[in-house]
Amino acid sequence: MAVDCIIFGFDDEELKLLLIKRNLEPEKGKWSLMGGFLREDETASQAANRILHSLTGLRDVYMDQVRTFSQPDRDPVERTISIAYYALIKIEDHNKELSRQHSAEWFSLNKAPKLIFDHGDMVTTAINLLRYKTSVQPIGFELLPEKFTMRQLQKLYEAILDQELDKRNFVKKINQLDVLTKLEEKDMTSSKKGSYLYQFNKEKYASESKRDFSLNV
């Protein structure tokens, strides 16, 4: 029984995928997801968190189970069932030295190389799940800095959904959700006037048991 981790990050423009160079046969030297076998004393989610930490140095990040991949011939060596998880991390937060040790690199989703075994199917399934979850929960904020501009937020949604969004409609919908706190601070790197910074208000979100995060813009 194995676990594979699909690690997504965001660089203010694109949604990216962290991949490693496989260091053993079969398919040695080819691009792969980070994975490993379950230990006797851990659950699948514990194994996923262990594997994620070994590659990024991060703990307590957003992680969700994708599904189980159990095709009999998915691994050419022996029958292996894999439980896939996806994680959302801030690219600037991960330990670059750990990534170098695993020959890991970030790839834009539309420029990612061909992956070994059924790892490409895992990534596709994870992206579809991420898009659905983003429409019903505010999980996308896991990919943003603590303080962000409305432009950064829109860019994130466009990257996840893989479509351009109308700025006016997007801002209107986000404001209707009433889960952001507008700060007095501004990001002065985007223009001379600057752009106001926002924070996701977890308390405000938690106070509402039912909320539709579908943008429909």
Q: What pTM value is reported for the model?
A: 0.91
Q: Catalytic residue among 78, 97, 146, 203, which?
A: 97
pLDDT in tens, 66-117: 999 999 999 999 999 999 999 999 998 999 999 999 999 999 998 999 999 9
Q: Which of 40, 132, 38 is nearest to 86 (CA)?
A: 132
The single-letter DSSP state of residue 41 is T
| Whole-number Cα distances in Å, 159 to 20, 49, 71, 106, 183 | 22, 25, 31, 15, 25
pLDDT tier for residue 202 given thresholds of 50, 70 and 90: confident
**Phi then psi dihedrals of residue 66, to 5 deg:** -85, -70
Give the span between the Cα atoms of 55 and 6, in whole angstroms. Answer: 12
Residues with Cβ within 8 Å of 103's Cβ and at least 6 positions away in sequence, in order, are 20, 21, 23
Of the listed ranges 111-115, 154-158, 174-178, the one predicted with least confidence? 174-178
- Structure tokens belonging to residue 139: 């999980």
34: helix, strand or coil: strand
- Stated as kind and residue range, the H or E segment containing 124 is helix 119-136
Look at residues 165, 138, 123 and name the one whose alpha carbon lies nearest to residue 8: 123
Let me know if 97 is a catalytic residue. yes
pLDDT reading at 206 higher than 80: no
Write down the pLDDT at residue 210: 55
Q: What structural domains does the chain harbor?
A: 2-137 (3.90.79.10), 144-206 (1.10.10.10)
The phi, psi pair for 131, rounded to 5°, reads -65, -40
